[in-house]
Amino acid sequence: MRIKITRLLSGIMPDSLRFLLRKLGLNKVINKLINKSEGEIIFQSNWANKFKVNRDKVLEYWQKYLYLREIKKICQLRSHTKVLDIGCGISSILHFIKGKRFGIDPLADEYLKMYKYPPGISITRGVGEKLPFPNRFFDVIFCTNVLDHTDNPREVVKEISRVLKKRGYFILAVHIFNKSFKRDPAHPHTFTGKGVYSLISGRFKPVFQKISPAIGFYDYVSKGVRKSKNKELVLILKML
């Protein structure tokens, strides 16, 4: 049953049906029938073709809501900068920046089958809790809407501090709520603003912080600017 549902939804769900299911609350029923990895494959397979023809819109979102211009200015990204994107997915920030670019994702093998990344981007299968890189290897690390998907967020932050160079930068974007609650299989964790700062305390110093509406790439590309009741915390953190 689960395999049939995954195949049915993967790559063929039109936006109109997706938004209708969400409005009716039926997406929550589907979430109970599939696990976290299956749900992510469904999403990314629907997203891959849309991203290919909407890269400009995704870049626009990065600039408006995730402050890419400010990130580039503060982090001084250059062609020699070693950059890692954790939980990179298909539409990684690595498309829009300079540097020696690495992406890691537990579903990387699946994504490489459905999408051809541009030259110069190296994608590897792996998890944030155990990064396959040596100590102090990267100048800049991105973790965008990923921390709440992980099994152990605290261990991910610990690993980031291990592979990031001293005085390196960690760009973190994460949805925040007034209180923690059980969300869905794809998001085993929810964070308050206080909870996020607790995770990074003692390892990183915030040098930039903003709160944006949590619209999301898919919805922004599909429906444009809209109101969102959810919020997203965007931080540029410097390694202590």
Q: Using 50, 70 and 90 to split pLDDT, how confident is the model at 12? A: very low
Asked whether residue 182 is domain-assigned, the answer is: yes
Which residue segment(s) compose the domain that 62 sits in? 55-239
Tell whether 115 is covered by a domain. Answer: yes
Q: What percent of the chain clears pLDDT 90, i.e. is strictly above it?
A: 71
CATH number, domain at 99? 3.40.50.150
Total structural domains in the chain? 1
Whether 207 has a pLDDT exceeding 50, the answer reads yes
pLDDT value of position 34: 56
Read off the pLDDT of each residue in 194-203 and give the average, rounded to a whole number: 96
Give the strand order in the sheet containing 100-105: 121-125, 100-105, 82-86, 138-144, 164-176, 231-239, 204-213
Mean pLDDT of 32-55: 82
pLDDT score of 16: 46
* pLDDT per residue as tens digits for the range 137-154: 999 999 999 999 999 999
Q: Is residue 177 part of a domain?
A: yes
50 domain residue, yes or no: no
* Mean pLDDT score, 60-75: 97
Q: Determine, yes or no, domain membership for 79.
A: yes
Q: Which of 129, 127, 193, 118 is nearest to 162 (CA)?
A: 129
Query: Is residue 151 included in any domain, yes or no?
Result: yes
